[in-house]
């Protein structure tokens, strides 16, 4: 009889965690739920992460999966009809730019020397605006926990943007200095300096391989 009682008690004890974590309303697809009493978000199953956006806003779930649409870019911050892309094209052009027939909003022509290759370009359509520290890389190294306003600031920060030829930008992708360096060797020192500056500015982490690549570059070429 005592043996049966012990087994019954053991079953009850093992089921307690599930009873504690269960909720009448159930869990959402992210593994958590909002408390009706406190309006706070509670996580109960991995992966799940709660992030307070503002003191007045309800807590929202931050997905750990990178989505480019969560990082608003090429916005017109100063409301002059020129978005971030147009402003960087103007900043990096060696001569006055020309605009399309749309009240001077979109750049069509100028003169650019790609910092990664030394290639000279005159058509704006041949250029991409590169995030020195790519958005998805920032997401993986600390930016995933940022709110939308912080992501927007990072995505449009002129310190992190360069007008480059589109083919080289696509070849770079979201790689760090340990996996990609500008083909033009004379620009590599400035590249790693700007990379480190942005990482430090936003408190983004650096992998060991990344740090070693930067240290080697500085020791051998800078």
- Using one digit for the tens of pLDDT, what is the confidence trace for 130-155? 999 999 999 999 999 999 999 999 99
Name the strands in the sheet holding 120-123, side by side, starting at the edge strand that comes first in the sequence: 98-99, 107-113, 120-123
Residue 16 falls inside a structural domain = no
Do residues 99 and 207 share a domain? yes
166 part of a folded domain: yes
pTM equals: 0.71
Question: Per the domain annotation, does 1 fall within a domain?
Answer: no
What band does 186 get if pLDDT is binned at 50, 70 and 90?
very high
Check whether residue 143 and residue 182 sit in a common domain.
yes
Same domain, yes or no: 38 and 90: no
In this prediction, residue 53 has a pLDDT band, given cuts at 50, 70 and 90, of very low
CA 178 to CA 175: how far, in whole Å?
Answer: 8
Q: State how many domains the chain has.
A: 2
Q: Which range of residues forms the domain containing residue 46?
A: 23-64
Asked if 116 and 199 sit in the same domain, the reply is yes
Residue 4, domain member (yes or no) = no
User: Does 137 lie in the same domain as 60?
Assistant: no
**Same domain assignment for residues 77 and 144:** yes
Long-range contacts from 188-197, C-beta under 8 angstroms, 24+ separation: 188/217, 188/221, 189/217, 189/218, 189/221, 189/222, 190/115, 191/115, 191/116, 191/132, 192/217, 192/218, 192/222, 193/222, 194/132, 194/159, 194/160, 195/132, 195/133, 197/159
């Amino acid at each position: 009889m005592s043996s049966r009682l012990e087994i019954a008690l053991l079953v009850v004890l093992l089921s307690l965690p599930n009873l504690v974590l269960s909720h009448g309303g159930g869990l959402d697809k992210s593994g958590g739920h909002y408390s009706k009493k406190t309006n706070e978000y509670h996580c109960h199953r991995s992966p799940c992460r709660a992030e307070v956006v503002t003191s007045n806003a309800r807590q929202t779930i931050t997905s750990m999966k990178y989505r480019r649409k969560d990082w608003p870019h090429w916005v017109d911050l100063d409301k002059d009809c020129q978005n971030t892309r147009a402003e960087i094209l103007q900043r990096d052009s060696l001569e006055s730019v020309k605009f399309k027939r749309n009240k001077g909003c979109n750049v069509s022509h100028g003169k650019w020397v790609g910092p990664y290759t030394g290639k000279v370009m005159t058509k704006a359509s041949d250029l991409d605006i590169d995030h020195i520290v790519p958005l998805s890389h920032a997401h993986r190294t600390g930016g995933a926990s940022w709110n939308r306003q912080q992501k927007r600031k990072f995505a449009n920060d002129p310190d992190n943007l360069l007008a480059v030829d589109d083919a080289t930008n696509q070849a770079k992708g979201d790689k760090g200095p340990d996996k990609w360096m500008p083909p033009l060797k004379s620009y590599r020192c400035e590249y790693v300096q700007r990379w480190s500056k942005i990482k430090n500015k936003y408190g983004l982490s650096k992998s060991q391989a990344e740090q070693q690549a930067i240290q080697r570059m500085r020791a051998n070429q800078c």
